[in-house]
Amino acid sequence: MDGTRLFIVLIPQTITILSFAFIAYKILSRRKDKTSLLLSSFYICMVIGFIINLISLSLISLEILVGNLIKVFYYTVFYLILFSFIFLVLFIMSISSVNTLTNSKIIASILIIYGISSFLIVCQPGGIEFIDENYTIYFNTNLMISSYIFIFISIIIPSFYFSLKNKDKITHPSLKKKYKLFTIGLIVKYLDLYGAILYNSWHNPLFRIIWSGITSFLLVVSAFLIYYGVGKNLRPVK
């Protein structure tokens, strides 16, 4: 990997890591209840994934990582990012006052089931390959399609189902405005996730240039919209 590519990735991802870490800190510094822990876990899991990605890119640049060992890092990064979204779904369910989420065993069961399902999606044979000597990764068609379907069914549908239930229960004008920001943040976050998968699956030069320029912006903006829309001070809807 050349130094230019590393630099292009290093700066925006460092900004993203710092932004997500800051939000997680702000959430946990306010209170440490179940709802806060779920939302902060989403940001923390993403931060860990981005840090591992930066470490792997640096080691590749120094030619310390080679071959299949690089794939292990990439599989780990994709898994952590995909897994992080279940915390966002559980957070939305928790502010809906979903009774089942009062039981920690049920939350643990959901995390285990989703974790295993995510692992099976991410680690399917031949899902991630290299397309050049710089170890540029490529998601094959099966991985792309199965990831899209999995995200849509297990993340997007429940997210917006419970989000709409929350919206109908909110009556205060200021909370309605904040919840709109949260909903926009969700939409941008999921578009960014879909775009990132497409970026690694479709190696169109123009698309890759455009996406490289906007993805970190989308990540950071959506993260703050989610935080300021709901995570900062919205209590469970009664």
Q: Over the stretch 124-153, which tens digit does the pLDDT of each residue have?
A: 988 888 877 767 788 999 999 999 999 999
Residue 83's alpha-carbon distances to 63, 73, 134, 147, in angstroms, are 29, 15, 27, 12
> Does residue 236 lie within any of the structural domains?
no
> Does residue 135 lie within any of the structural domains?
yes
Best CA proximity match to 164, nearest among 217, 67, 237, 72? 237
Count of domains observed in the chain: 1
Range of the domain at 118: 3-231
> Does residue 37 lie within any of the structural domains?
yes
Helix (H, G, I), strand (E, B) or coil at 128: strand
Rounded distance, CA 146 to CA 121, Å? 7
pLDDT tens-digit series, residues 167-193:
777 777 777 888 889 999 999 999 999
> Does residue 175 lie within any of the structural domains?
yes
> Does residue 213 lie within any of the structural domains?
yes
Q: Residue 116's domain is classified under what CATH number?
A: 1.20.1070.10
Tell me the percentage of the chain whose pLDDT exceeds 90: 47
Against a cut of 0.85, is the pTM above it? Answer: yes
> Does residue 172 lie within any of the structural domains?
yes
> Does residue 237 lie within any of the structural domains?
no
Helix (H, G, I), strand (E, B) or coil at 196: helix
What angle, rounded to 10 degrees, do the helices at 141-151 and 173-201 form?
A: 170
Structure confidence at residue 201 (pLDDT)? 93
pLDDT tens-digit series, residues 72-129:
888 999 999 999 999 999 999 888 765 556 678 888 999 999 999 999 999 998 888 8
> Does residue 204 lie within any of the structural domains?
yes
Q: Other C-beta atoms within 10 Å of 198: how many?
A: 16
Best CA proximity match to 127, nearest among 113, 115, 141? 141
Tokens of 82: 């995909």
Tell me if 170 sits within 8 A of 121, measured CB to CB: no
Rounded distance, CA 136 to CA 69, Å? 14
Best CA proximity match to 231, nearest among 77, 49, 20, 81? 20
